[in-house]
Amino acid sequence: MKIINVPTGKIVTSEFSRGPLEFLSIGDYGQAANIKADFLGLDQPVNGVENGSVMPLSEKWVITISTQYGCSMKCRFCDVPLVGPGKNVSEADILGQILLARELHGEVTHTKRLNLHFARMGEPTFNTAVLDASRYLARKADEFLDLQCDTFHPVLTTMMPKKNGILKGYVQEWVAIKNEDFGGEANIQVSINSTSDDQRDHMYRGSTRTLAEISGIVSGFPAPVGRKYCLNMAMADGYEFDGAKLAGLFNPDHWMVKITPIHVTTSTEANGMKSSGGYDLYDFYAPREDAFKEAGFDTLVFVPSYDEDFGMITCGNAVLSGRMPTIPYTVSHDE
Ligand code: SF4
Protein backbone atom coordinates (compact mmCIF):
# COMPACT_ATOMS: atom_id res chain seq x y z
CA MET A 1 0.00 0.00 0.00
CA LYS A 2 1.41 3.39 -1.04
CA ILE A 3 0.29 6.43 0.93
CA ILE A 4 0.80 9.92 -0.49
CA ASN A 5 0.52 12.47 2.31
CA VAL A 6 -0.80 15.80 1.04
CA PRO A 7 -1.78 18.83 3.16
CA THR A 8 -5.44 17.89 3.64
CA GLY A 9 -5.17 14.11 3.86
CA LYS A 10 -3.93 10.97 2.18
CA ILE A 11 -4.13 9.51 -1.32
CA VAL A 12 -3.73 5.74 -1.17
CA THR A 13 -3.06 3.17 -3.87
CA SER A 14 -3.26 -0.53 -3.15
CA GLU A 15 -3.83 -3.87 -4.88
CA PHE A 16 -7.35 -5.24 -4.92
CA SER A 17 -9.04 -8.20 -6.62
CA ARG A 18 -8.39 -7.10 -10.22
CA GLY A 19 -5.45 -4.71 -9.85
CA PRO A 20 -4.53 -1.37 -8.27
CA LEU A 21 -7.18 1.01 -6.92
CA GLU A 22 -6.96 4.49 -5.52
CA PHE A 23 -8.87 6.05 -2.62
CA LEU A 24 -8.68 9.08 -0.33
CA SER A 25 -8.95 9.86 3.36
CA ILE A 26 -9.23 13.61 3.77
CA GLY A 27 -10.21 16.36 6.17
CA ASP A 28 -12.29 19.45 5.62
CA TYR A 29 -11.75 23.12 6.47
CA GLY A 30 -15.33 23.55 7.68
CA GLN A 31 -18.24 24.92 5.67
CA ALA A 32 -17.60 28.57 6.43
CA ALA A 33 -14.11 28.42 4.86
CA ASN A 34 -14.98 27.41 1.33
CA ILE A 35 -18.74 27.43 0.82
CA LYS A 36 -21.23 30.14 -0.06
CA ALA A 37 -24.80 28.93 0.21
CA ASP A 38 -27.35 31.56 1.13
CA PHE A 39 -29.98 28.90 1.85
CA LEU A 40 -27.72 27.52 4.60
CA GLY A 41 -27.00 30.95 6.05
CA LEU A 42 -23.50 30.97 4.54
CA ASP A 43 -23.80 34.27 2.68
CA GLN A 44 -20.21 35.53 2.48
CA PRO A 45 -18.52 35.45 -0.95
CA VAL A 46 -15.50 33.15 -1.00
CA ASN A 47 -12.57 35.13 -2.38
CA GLY A 48 -10.09 32.28 -2.40
CA VAL A 49 -9.50 29.74 0.36
CA GLU A 50 -6.42 29.87 2.56
CA ASN A 51 -4.20 26.82 2.73
CA GLY A 52 -5.05 26.33 6.39
CA SER A 53 -5.42 23.34 8.68
CA VAL A 54 -8.30 20.96 8.28
CA MET A 55 -10.61 20.17 11.17
CA PRO A 56 -9.91 17.02 13.21
CA LEU A 57 -11.37 13.91 11.62
CA SER A 58 -13.54 13.59 14.72
CA GLU A 59 -15.40 16.65 13.37
CA LYS A 60 -15.61 15.57 9.73
CA TRP A 61 -13.99 12.81 7.72
CA VAL A 62 -14.28 12.33 3.97
CA ILE A 63 -13.47 9.00 2.34
CA THR A 64 -13.53 8.88 -1.46
CA ILE A 65 -13.27 5.52 -3.19
CA SER A 66 -13.07 4.03 -6.68
CA THR A 67 -15.98 2.11 -8.18
CA GLN A 68 -14.08 0.93 -11.25
CA TYR A 69 -10.50 0.14 -12.24
CA GLY A 70 -10.01 3.09 -14.63
CA CYS A 71 -12.98 4.48 -16.56
CA SER A 72 -14.46 4.06 -20.03
CA MET A 73 -16.22 7.42 -20.03
CA LYS A 74 -14.47 10.13 -21.99
CA CYS A 75 -14.78 13.23 -19.81
CA ARG A 76 -12.35 15.74 -21.30
CA PHE A 77 -11.45 17.16 -17.86
CA CYS A 78 -10.56 13.86 -16.16
CA ASP A 79 -7.34 11.84 -15.90
CA VAL A 80 -8.95 8.52 -14.90
CA PRO A 81 -9.37 7.27 -18.51
CA LEU A 82 -5.57 7.51 -18.74
CA VAL A 83 -5.46 4.70 -16.14
CA GLY A 84 -7.32 2.34 -18.47
CA PRO A 85 -10.83 1.15 -19.35
CA GLY A 86 -13.43 0.88 -16.60
CA LYS A 87 -13.72 -2.58 -15.06
CA ASN A 88 -16.08 -2.90 -12.13
CA VAL A 89 -14.75 -3.34 -8.63
CA SER A 90 -16.41 -5.97 -6.45
CA GLU A 91 -18.43 -5.33 -3.31
CA ALA A 92 -15.44 -6.65 -1.32
CA ASP A 93 -13.20 -4.13 -3.14
CA ILE A 94 -15.58 -1.32 -2.14
CA LEU A 95 -15.75 -2.33 1.50
CA GLY A 96 -12.01 -3.04 1.51
CA GLN A 97 -11.15 0.50 0.36
CA ILE A 98 -13.39 2.00 3.03
CA LEU A 99 -11.91 -0.18 5.74
CA LEU A 100 -8.31 0.58 4.74
CA ALA A 101 -9.11 4.31 4.72
CA ARG A 102 -10.63 4.00 8.16
CA GLU A 103 -7.62 2.01 9.45
CA LEU A 104 -5.27 4.85 8.46
CA HIS A 105 -6.59 6.58 11.57
CA GLY A 106 -7.22 3.90 14.15
CA GLU A 107 -6.91 6.54 16.86
CA VAL A 108 -10.25 8.05 15.82
CA THR A 109 -13.12 6.25 17.54
CA HIS A 110 -15.90 8.77 16.96
CA THR A 111 -16.72 11.32 14.27
CA LYS A 112 -19.56 13.78 13.96
CA ARG A 113 -19.72 13.22 10.21
CA LEU A 114 -18.31 10.67 7.79
CA ASN A 115 -18.94 11.41 4.11
CA LEU A 116 -18.38 8.54 1.69
CA HIS A 117 -17.96 9.61 -1.93
CA PHE A 118 -18.13 7.12 -4.80
CA ALA A 119 -16.08 9.50 -6.89
CA ARG A 120 -12.41 8.61 -7.37
CA MET A 121 -12.05 6.28 -10.34
CA GLY A 122 -15.00 5.10 -12.41
CA GLU A 123 -18.60 5.87 -13.31
CA PRO A 124 -20.51 4.21 -10.46
CA THR A 125 -23.79 3.60 -12.32
CA PHE A 126 -22.12 0.80 -14.26
CA ASN A 127 -21.55 -1.10 -11.03
CA THR A 128 -24.41 -2.58 -8.98
CA ALA A 129 -21.94 -3.60 -6.25
CA VAL A 130 -22.13 0.07 -5.16
CA LEU A 131 -25.83 -0.42 -4.40
CA ASP A 132 -25.24 -3.66 -2.52
CA ALA A 133 -22.41 -2.18 -0.45
CA SER A 134 -24.46 0.91 0.36
CA ARG A 135 -27.44 -1.12 1.53
CA TYR A 136 -25.09 -3.07 3.78
CA LEU A 137 -23.54 0.11 5.16
CA ALA A 138 -26.97 1.62 5.82
CA ARG A 139 -27.46 -1.16 8.34
CA LYS A 140 -23.93 -1.80 9.58
CA ALA A 141 -21.59 1.17 9.00
CA ASP A 142 -20.65 1.80 12.64
CA GLU A 143 -20.11 -1.87 13.36
CA PHE A 144 -18.23 -2.54 10.10
CA LEU A 145 -15.95 0.47 10.61
CA ASP A 146 -15.68 0.10 14.38
CA LEU A 147 -16.36 3.82 14.41
CA GLN A 148 -19.16 5.74 16.00
CA CYS A 149 -20.52 8.11 13.34
CA ASP A 150 -23.15 10.65 14.36
CA THR A 151 -23.85 11.04 10.66
CA PHE A 152 -22.79 8.69 7.87
CA HIS A 153 -23.52 10.24 4.48
CA PRO A 154 -22.74 8.48 1.18
CA VAL A 155 -22.84 10.42 -2.09
CA LEU A 156 -23.06 8.92 -5.57
CA THR A 157 -21.79 11.13 -8.40
CA THR A 158 -22.77 10.28 -11.97
CA MET A 159 -22.26 11.72 -15.43
CA MET A 160 -25.42 9.86 -16.63
CA PRO A 161 -23.65 7.74 -19.28
CA LYS A 162 -25.23 7.20 -22.66
CA LYS A 163 -24.15 3.56 -23.08
CA ASN A 164 -25.65 2.28 -19.85
CA GLY A 165 -28.79 0.22 -20.29
CA ILE A 166 -29.41 -0.06 -16.54
CA LEU A 167 -29.05 3.67 -15.82
CA LYS A 168 -32.69 4.53 -15.16
CA GLY A 169 -33.34 1.62 -12.81
CA TYR A 170 -29.98 2.18 -11.15
CA VAL A 171 -30.53 5.82 -10.21
CA GLN A 172 -34.08 5.03 -9.10
CA GLU A 173 -32.67 2.37 -6.80
CA TRP A 174 -30.04 4.77 -5.46
CA VAL A 175 -32.74 7.33 -4.73
CA ALA A 176 -34.65 4.66 -2.77
CA ILE A 177 -31.44 3.94 -0.84
CA LYS A 178 -31.08 7.67 -0.08
CA ASN A 179 -34.66 8.25 0.93
CA GLU A 180 -35.47 4.96 2.63
CA ASP A 181 -32.37 3.02 3.72
CA PHE A 182 -30.55 6.17 4.86
CA GLY A 183 -33.67 8.15 5.80
CA GLY A 184 -32.50 11.01 3.56
CA GLU A 185 -28.89 11.06 4.85
CA ALA A 186 -27.31 10.28 1.44
CA ASN A 187 -27.37 11.96 -1.93
CA ILE A 188 -26.94 11.82 -5.68
CA GLN A 189 -24.92 14.37 -7.63
CA VAL A 190 -25.68 14.55 -11.34
CA SER A 191 -22.78 16.28 -13.07
CA ILE A 192 -24.23 18.60 -15.68
CA ASN A 193 -21.44 21.23 -15.82
CA SER A 194 -23.13 23.35 -18.50
CA THR A 195 -26.70 24.05 -19.58
CA SER A 196 -25.66 23.75 -23.25
CA ASP A 197 -25.97 20.29 -24.79
CA ASP A 198 -23.41 21.24 -27.44
CA GLN A 199 -20.86 22.18 -24.78
CA ARG A 200 -21.68 19.04 -22.81
CA ASP A 201 -21.28 16.87 -25.89
CA HIS A 202 -17.82 18.33 -26.38
CA MET A 203 -16.78 18.09 -22.72
CA TYR A 204 -17.95 14.47 -22.37
CA ARG A 205 -16.90 13.52 -25.89
CA GLY A 206 -20.41 12.21 -26.55
CA SER A 207 -20.40 9.77 -23.63
CA THR A 208 -23.32 11.26 -21.70
CA ARG A 209 -26.99 11.98 -22.40
CA THR A 210 -28.72 15.21 -23.34
CA LEU A 211 -30.21 17.32 -20.57
CA ALA A 212 -33.71 16.47 -21.82
CA GLU A 213 -32.91 12.75 -21.62
CA ILE A 214 -31.50 13.17 -18.10
CA SER A 215 -34.55 15.17 -17.10
CA GLY A 216 -36.76 12.36 -18.40
CA ILE A 217 -34.85 9.77 -16.38
CA VAL A 218 -35.05 11.69 -13.09
CA SER A 219 -38.55 13.14 -13.51
CA GLY A 220 -40.05 10.13 -11.75
CA PHE A 221 -37.93 10.58 -8.62
CA PRO A 222 -40.01 11.02 -5.47
CA ALA A 223 -39.64 14.21 -3.46
CA PRO A 224 -36.27 13.99 -1.71
CA VAL A 225 -36.12 13.11 1.96
CA GLY A 226 -33.48 15.30 3.64
CA ARG A 227 -31.24 17.24 1.30
CA LYS A 228 -32.41 17.99 -2.21
CA TYR A 229 -30.89 16.04 -5.09
CA CYS A 230 -27.86 17.84 -6.49
CA LEU A 231 -27.01 19.14 -9.97
CA ASN A 232 -23.24 19.49 -10.03
CA MET A 233 -21.80 22.31 -12.14
CA ALA A 234 -17.99 22.12 -12.47
CA MET A 235 -17.80 25.22 -14.58
CA ALA A 236 -15.00 26.15 -16.93
CA ASP A 237 -14.67 29.49 -18.71
CA GLY A 238 -17.39 29.93 -21.30
CA TYR A 239 -19.77 27.24 -20.04
CA GLU A 240 -23.38 28.31 -20.38
CA PHE A 241 -25.37 28.92 -17.17
CA ASP A 242 -28.98 29.40 -18.23
CA GLY A 243 -30.97 29.16 -15.00
CA ALA A 244 -34.39 29.31 -16.67
CA LYS A 245 -33.46 26.48 -19.03
CA LEU A 246 -32.31 24.35 -16.08
CA ALA A 247 -35.46 25.10 -14.07
CA GLY A 248 -37.52 23.99 -17.08
CA LEU A 249 -35.84 20.59 -16.90
CA PHE A 250 -35.28 20.02 -13.16
CA ASN A 251 -37.72 20.96 -10.40
CA PRO A 252 -36.06 23.47 -8.03
CA ASP A 253 -38.24 22.07 -5.23
CA HIS A 254 -36.40 18.74 -5.64
CA TRP A 255 -33.00 19.81 -6.96
CA MET A 256 -30.27 22.15 -5.75
CA VAL A 257 -27.27 23.39 -7.74
CA LYS A 258 -23.64 23.04 -6.64
CA ILE A 259 -21.04 25.15 -8.47
CA THR A 260 -17.33 24.36 -8.37
CA PRO A 261 -14.40 25.34 -10.57
CA ILE A 262 -13.07 22.85 -13.08
CA HIS A 263 -10.07 21.29 -11.38
CA VAL A 264 -6.44 21.31 -12.41
CA THR A 265 -5.56 17.95 -13.98
CA THR A 266 -3.32 16.75 -16.77
CA SER A 267 -6.40 16.62 -19.02
CA THR A 268 -7.74 20.11 -18.22
CA GLU A 269 -4.25 21.53 -18.76
CA ALA A 270 -3.89 19.70 -22.08
CA ASN A 271 -7.36 20.77 -23.21
CA GLY A 272 -7.08 24.38 -22.07
CA MET A 273 -10.01 24.11 -19.61
CA LYS A 274 -9.94 26.45 -16.63
CA SER A 275 -12.09 28.62 -14.35
CA SER A 276 -10.21 31.91 -14.60
CA GLY A 277 -9.78 33.65 -11.28
CA GLY A 278 -11.95 31.12 -9.48
CA TYR A 279 -9.31 30.21 -6.91
CA ASP A 280 -8.78 33.81 -5.84
CA LEU A 281 -11.91 35.90 -6.41
CA TYR A 282 -15.65 35.38 -6.18
CA ASP A 283 -16.21 37.28 -9.45
CA PHE A 284 -16.10 34.03 -11.40
CA TYR A 285 -18.97 32.55 -9.38
CA ALA A 286 -21.23 35.54 -8.71
CA PRO A 287 -23.07 35.66 -12.08
CA ARG A 288 -23.42 31.89 -12.14
CA GLU A 289 -24.78 31.78 -8.60
CA ASP A 290 -27.21 34.61 -9.38
CA ALA A 291 -28.50 32.87 -12.51
CA PHE A 292 -29.40 29.69 -10.67
CA LYS A 293 -30.76 31.44 -7.57
CA GLU A 294 -32.98 33.65 -9.74
CA ALA A 295 -34.34 30.50 -11.39
CA GLY A 296 -35.38 29.25 -7.94
CA PHE A 297 -32.56 26.82 -7.10
CA ASP A 298 -30.89 26.57 -3.72
CA THR A 299 -27.33 27.23 -4.91
CA LEU A 300 -24.11 26.23 -3.20
CA VAL A 301 -20.70 27.41 -4.36
CA PHE A 302 -17.73 25.30 -3.27
CA VAL A 303 -14.24 26.74 -3.75
CA PRO A 304 -11.24 24.49 -3.05
CA SER A 305 -7.92 25.82 -1.80
CA TYR A 306 -4.77 25.56 -3.89
CA ASP A 307 -3.60 22.89 -1.41
CA GLU A 308 -6.67 20.82 -2.20
CA ASP A 309 -6.42 21.19 -5.97
CA PHE A 310 -2.66 20.89 -6.32
CA GLY A 311 -2.78 18.10 -3.73
CA MET A 312 -4.92 16.11 -6.21
CA ILE A 313 -7.75 15.34 -3.81
CA THR A 314 -10.26 16.97 -6.18
CA CYS A 315 -12.41 15.32 -8.85
CA GLY A 316 -10.77 14.30 -12.12
CA ASN A 317 -7.42 13.48 -10.57
CA ALA A 318 -5.72 10.08 -10.30
CA VAL A 319 -2.14 9.38 -9.25
CA LEU A 320 -2.47 6.02 -11.04
CA SER A 321 -2.58 8.08 -14.26
CA GLY A 322 1.06 9.01 -13.62
CA ARG A 323 0.48 12.54 -12.32
CA MET A 324 1.69 13.46 -8.83
CA PRO A 325 0.77 16.39 -6.58
CA THR A 326 2.31 19.71 -7.57
CA ILE A 327 2.79 20.86 -3.97
CA PRO A 328 5.14 19.36 -1.36
CA TYR A 329 4.07 15.84 -0.31
CA THR A 330 5.58 12.76 1.27
CA VAL A 331 5.20 9.10 0.40
CA SER A 332 5.05 6.25 2.88
CA HIS A 333 4.42 2.55 2.47
CA ASP A 334 2.45 0.14 4.58
CA GLU A 335 2.59 -3.59 3.91
S1 SF4 B 1 -15.19 12.16 -14.39
FE2 SF4 B 1 -15.87 10.18 -13.62
S3 SF4 B 1 -17.04 9.30 -15.33
FE4 SF4 B 1 -15.82 10.98 -16.20
S5 SF4 B 1 -13.94 9.94 -16.95
FE6 SF4 B 1 -13.56 10.68 -14.83
S7 SF4 B 1 -13.98 8.93 -13.52
FE8 SF4 B 1 -14.95 8.55 -15.51
Ligand 1: residue of 71, 82, 126 to mutate (most ligand atoms within 8 A of CB) is 71
In degrees and rounded to multiples of 5, residue 143 shows phi and psi of: -70, -45
Are 123 and 316 spatial neighbours (Cβ–Cβ below 8 Å)? no
Q: What is the pLDDT of residue 32?
A: 86
Ligand 1: residue of 80, 265, 273 to mutate (most ligand atoms within 8 A of CB) is 80
Query: Cα(166) to centroid of ligand 1, in Å?
Result: 18
Are 275 and 233 spatial neighbours (Cβ–Cβ below 8 Å)? no
- Ligand 1 atom at minimum distance from 157 CA: 2
- Ligand 1 atom at minimum distance from 315 CA: 1
d(CA 295, CA 317) in angstroms, rounded, equals 32
Which residue from 333, 308, 323 is spatially nearest to 50, judged by alpha carbons? Answer: 308
Whose CA is closest to atom 3 on ligand 1? 123
- Ligand 1 atom at minimum distance from 71 CA: 8
Query: Cα(78) to centroid of ligand 1, in Å?
Result: 6
CA distances from 308 to 72, 105, 282 (A): 26, 20, 18
Pocket of ligand 1 (CB under 6 A): 71, 73, 75, 78, 80-81, 121-123, 159, 316
- Ligand 1 atom at minimum distance from 158 CA: 3
Are 89 and 324 spatial neighbours (Cβ–Cβ below 8 Å)? no
Angle between helices 167-176 and 211-218 (to 10 degrees): 50
User: What residue type is assigned to position 166 of the chain?
Assistant: I
- Ligand 1 atom at minimum distance from 122 CA: 7
Q: What is the pLDDT of residue 335?
A: 66
Are 190 and 158 spatial neighbours (Cβ–Cβ below 8 Å)? yes
Are 181 and 134 spatial neighbours (Cβ–Cβ below 8 Å)? yes
What domains does the chain contain, in order, with CATH numbers? 2-333 (3.20.20.70)
The pTM assigned to this predicted structure is 0.97
Query: Cα(202) to centroid of ligand 1, in Å?
Result: 14
- pLDDT by residue for the chain (335 residues), tens digit each? 999 999 999 999 999 999 999 999 999 998 889 999 999 999 999 999 999 899 999 999 999 999 999 999 999 999 999 999 999 999 999 999 999 999 999 999 999 999 999 999 999 999 999 999 999 999 999 999 999 999 999 999 999 999 999 999 999 999 999 999 999 999 999 999 999 999 999 999 999 999 999 999 999 999 999 999 999 999 999 999 999 999 999 999 999 999 999 999 999 999 999 999 999 999 999 999 999 999 999 999 999 999 999 999 999 999 999 999 999 999 999 76
DSSP 187-256: EEEEE---S-HHHHHHHTTT-B--HHHHHHHHTTPPPPSSSPEEEEEEEPTT----HHHHHHHS-TTTEE
In degrees and rounded to multiples of 5, residue 262 shows phi and psi of: -80, 135
